[in-house]
Chain A
C-alpha cells in the first residue's frame, strides 16, 4: 500500500510538471504582440476575422490596393505595381488585431483558389508594428475605414488553413 501511495504521489508530481510545461509551450496569442516596438519574427495564434464579401480598398506601403473580400480572407491587388497579397486579420484574446499578408501567387499555388480557414490560425512571420494597413470600403460618402492594424508578413501558415489529412490521397 505504501508503494502504491508513493506511486500515486509521484504520478501527481510528474503529471503536474508535465501539465505546467505544456501550458508554457502554448502558442503566443496575437495579443502578446501589442507591446512590441521593433520588427520581430514571431509565431502566433489568433482568431480569424470575417471580412465579409465584396469590394474593399487597402492602403499599404504607400500603395492603394483593390481588395476582393472572400469571407475569412481577401485578395488585394495593385494593378499599377502588380503586387498582390492574400490578407487575413487575426484577433487576439484582448481584441488586439493584426493583418497577415501572404504573397498571393505563392498562397494560391499552395492552397488553391478556395482555401478553407479554421477559426484559429497559427502563423509564422515577421511582425512589423510600425507598418500598418488601412482597410475599408468605398462608400457613397467616400472611403469608410474599417481596420487600421499592424502587419505581419507571413512566412508560413502553420495551422488553420486547409486541413491536410482530410485530402484526397495521391501516389507518385
Chain B
C-alpha cells in the first residue's frame, strides 16, 4: 500500500462506514419473530458484530506483531502497542453495545453469561498491558515483557470466541449468525458491514502504528458531527414513549384490526390499518407487529427503535473517532 494515500483511503472508508451504518439501521432486515424483546433490537447485529469481530482482529494483530518482535526484534512492538490501544477501545464498545442489546433481548443487561464474562476478561487482560509496560524501567526488558504479555493475553481470544459454543450461553454461536447471513438481504448487509468496519479499523491501526495517519484533527470531529446529526435525524421521535404489542387481530389481508398492549390496553382501529412491518404475517400466520414497540400516530402505527440501537450507533461512531484521534496523535509525533 502506498502510505501517502492512507488519508484518502481512510476518508473513503469513513464515508462508506457512515452510509452503510445509516442504511443498516434504517433499512436493515431483522428476524420476523424473536425469543424475547422487540425484533427491532436485532438491528444491533449490524453494529455489535462488526465491532466484536474487529476487536478479535486487532488482538490477533497485536499477538502476531508481538511474536515477530520476540523472534526478530525491530519496530514490531509499535504495532502491538497500537493494536492493543485501539483494541481496548473496541473491546469496551463490544461490551457496552452487547450489554445494551442484552437488556432487551436477554431480559437483563448483565447475565454473567459465558460470552459476556469472557469479553470482560478479555478487556481486563489487555487493559493490564500498558500499566505493566509502564511499570518496567529498563527499556529492553520492558519491551520483551510487554511482547510476552501481549502474546499471552491472546489466549483469551479463542476462549472468548469459543465460550458460547462450548458452554450453555444466551449468546448465539457463529453458526447461528452464519444462518442469518444466508437468510436474505440482511446477511449481505451484515457481511458488508463486517468488511467495511474491519477494513477501516485495520487501516487506521496500521497507519497509526506507522505514524502515517497524517490527517487534520478536524476529520474525526467532522465524522463525529455528521454521525451525531445523522443519529438525531434517524432516531428523532422513534425512540421512547411507545408500548409493546402483546397480541394483534388481523383481517384476511394482514391489516391490523386491533392490538393489545403490554399495559393491557386494547386499541381497536375504526378502519384496519396497514402493518408497518413487511411481511405483515409470520410463517405461523400471526401478525408480525407482535412484540414490537409501537406508538399510534394519526390513526396509524409507528414502530419504534429500542434505545440500544441509537446507543450502539453512537458507541460505534465514538470509537472510530477515538481511534482516528489516537492515530492522528501518533502520526503527529512521528
Contacts and interface: CB of A to CB of B under 8 A. Distances in A.
Interface of A: 3-4, 6-15, 17-19, 21-23, 25-27, 43, 45, 105-106, 109-114, 120, 122, 124, 155-159, 161-172
A172 B34 CA distance: 15
Nearest to B185: A169
B245 to A, nearest CB: 8
Interface residues of B, number: 69
Contacts of A21: 117, 121
Contact of A170 (B151, B159, B180, B288): B288
B9 to A, nearest CB: 32
Interface stretch (B10-18, B82-90, B277-285, B323-331): B277-285
B280 to A, nearest CB: 9
A146 B154 CA distance: 52
A168 B277 CA distance: 12
Nearest to B181: A165
B183 A169 contact: yes
Nearest to B167: A26
Interface of B: 27-36, 39-40, 42, 66, 70, 106-108, 111-114, 117-118, 121, 125, 144-145, 147-149, 151-156, 159-160, 163, 167-170, 172, 176-177, 179-180, 183-186, 246-247, 276-279, 282-286, 288, 290-292, 303
Nearest to A106: B246
Nearest to A113: B284
Contact of A43 (B35, B42, B111, B114): B111
The 6 A-B pairs of least Cβ separation, nearest first, read A10-B152, A112-B284, A169-B29, A167-B31, A7-B148, A11-B152
B27 A11 contact: no
Contact of A15 (B70, B148, B156): B156
A170 B279 contact: yes
